[in-house]
Amino acid sequence: MVTALGFGFAYGLAARQAGFSVIDAMAMSAIAFAGSAELAAVGYVVSGVAWPAILVLTALLNARHLLYSATIGPWLAHVPVRRRAVMAHFLTDEAFALSMAHFRRIGRGDERGYWIAAIVMLFIPWNLATLGGVVLGGQIPDPSRLGIDVIFPAAMIGLAVGLMTGRRELTAAIVGAAIGVGVALLAGPPVGIVAGGLLGPLAGLAVPSRIAHETAPLGTVASAEHYSTPGEFSEHPDPGASGADREPR
């Protein structure tokens, strides 16, 4: 909850600097509710990236949630489809990891436990912090004097470092950065961001699994912990376990 407040506040400040109104920033947090993808989208907007490209890049960033939903789905099979559809909106890295740790501990799915993790621990704190960041950000005439202008790049660097779980991520980061900078110098930052964001991950996927040395394969709780805001979890289930390894009883 504490880190959700911190990163939500940072997002609110970054959104305000990017020219978002209070309604714009709050709508993104409530409707998209995508954590790191929200921070990334703000950076793309500031860089002048076209909206279609922003949608593609953020969709790629959040594609891991397909694996999360496939993993957690069997545990919530008893929940009516309509409620599961609503639950899907609140599925984040933190909600997945917290819920899976809880489900494995009690040996069954727990709808109430999921809602506590997703709403009480994450959605409410994130949105309250977003509101605080965007409102207070508007009261600061020159954010650069307080060093607030570095919040977004610092947050993104911290998130990127936390995502390094093997050679695939390292390759994607290096290639994406090199291509992004090179293309940006030739064709401008918007084109460079799109080129690096698309080609970097492709280069990472090209790394053979036998030499990837992944410590947190996508779709596992360990993967969710790497993508989440730092320090969110007090429990650490087996990092090698996946949904296929731990079926609901």
pLDDT on residue 136: 83
Separation between Cα atoms, residue 118 and residue 160, nearest integer Å: 23
pLDDT per residue rounded down to tens, the chain (249 residues): 766 787 788 888 888 888 889 999 999 999 988 877 888 888 888 888 888 888 888 887 787 788 788 889 899 999 999 999 999 999 987 888 888 888 888 888 899 999 998 898 889 999 999 999 888 877 776 666 666 556 656 666 665 676 676 788 788 888 988 998 898 888 877 778 778 878 888 888 888 877 777 666 655 666 666 555 444 444 444 434 444 444 554
pLDDT one-digit tens code per residue, 84-102: 999 999 998 788 888 888 8
Q: What are phi and psi of 103, to 5 degrees?
A: -60, -45
For residue 236, count other CB atoms closer than 10 A to its CB.
11
Burial of 134 (0-12, 13-18, 19+ CB in 10 A): buried
pLDDT one-digit tens code per residue, 165-212: 678 878 888 898 899 889 888 887 777 877 887 888 888 888 887 777
CA atoms within 13 A on the CB side of 97: 27
Tokens at residue 237, please? 């289930």
Separation between Cα atoms, residue 48 and residue 98, nearest integer Å: 36
What value does the CA radius of gyration of the chain take, rounded to a whole number of Å?
18
- Which residue is it, tokens 């909850």? 1
pLDDT on residue 114: 92
